[in-house]
Chains A and B, each alone.
Chain A
Amino acid sequence: MANDSGRSRLNGPSRLRLFGLALLAGGLMIAASVVNRLAEPGPGLRVALAILPVLPLAALAWAIMRAIQCLDELQRRIHLDAMCAAFVSGLFVAVIYGQLQHARIGLPELNWAYFYPVQLVSWAIGYLIASRRYQ
C-alpha cells in the first residue's frame, strides 16, 4: 500500500523545524527567566534577556504559517476549527481567571507568558477533537 499523501501532513523536516523552534523558544524563555532571577543583571541586559525568545518565536510563527499553507482544504478546516476552539477556550480561561482575581480570593498573579503554552495545548486538543470528526 502506498504511503499517505505528502501534501496534507507535515513532512519530517517541517515537523522537526517546528518542534525545534518551539523547543528553542521555550528553552530561551526559561533560561532568560532563570538568569534574570538569579544573576540580577542591569536593566538593559534584563530587557535584552526578556526579548531573547522573540526571534525563535517569530521564526516559529513563520514556520507555522508556511506549514498551514501547505495543507489541503480539509486539514485547513480542521486547523481552523482547532484554532477557533483554542481562541474561545483561551478567552474563557482568561476572563474567568481575571474575574476570580477581581473577586480577591487569593489567586496568584500569572505571567502573560503562560498564555502561549495554554493556547498551544488548546490548539492541539482542538485539533485532535476536530480531526476525529472526519475519520
Chain B
Amino acid sequence: MKNRLRVLRAERNWSQADLAQRLDVSRQTVNAIETGKYDPSLPLAFKIARLFAAPIEQIFEDGAESAERG
C-alpha cells in the first residue's frame, strides 16, 4: 500500500524518530510504513490520520484502487 507519510512528515520537519515518538511506535515501524514494507493496523492508521489532521484515504492509497484510476 502506498502512502504519503514521508511527505507529510517532511512538511513538518519531523524526523522519523519524532514521528515515532508522537505515534508511540518504533522508528523502525515508521520507516517500514514509509517504505511500504509494512501496512499499519487500522487503529494505527487512524492515529496517523488524526496526527496529520487528514482523512485516511488522503494518506494511504490502495494499490488496486490507483491502478483502476490509472
Chain A at the B interface: mostly helix, strand, loop or mixed? loop
What is the number of contacts between chain A and chain B, taking CB atoms within 8 Å?
59
Kindly list chain A residues whose C-beta atoms are within 8 Å of the C-beta of B38: 74, 77, 134
Cα separation A3 to B26 with both chains bound (whole Å):
10
A8 and B15: CB pair below 8 A?
no
8 Å CB contact of B24 from A4, A9, A72, A134: A72
Q: How large is the interface on A (under 10, 10 to 19, 20 to 34, 35 or more residues)?
A: 10 to 19
A110 within 8 A of B: no
Contact B31 A8, beta carbon cutoff 8 Å = no
Q: Are B29 and A4 in contact (CB under 8 A)?
A: no
Interface string of A1-19 (1 = CB under 8 A from B): 1111111110000000000
| A interface residues (Cβ-Cβ under 8 A, vs B) | 1-9, 72-75, 77, 131, 133-135
User: Which residues of B does A touch, CB under 8 Å?
Assistant: 15, 17-18, 20-21, 24-29, 31-32, 37-38, 40-41, 44
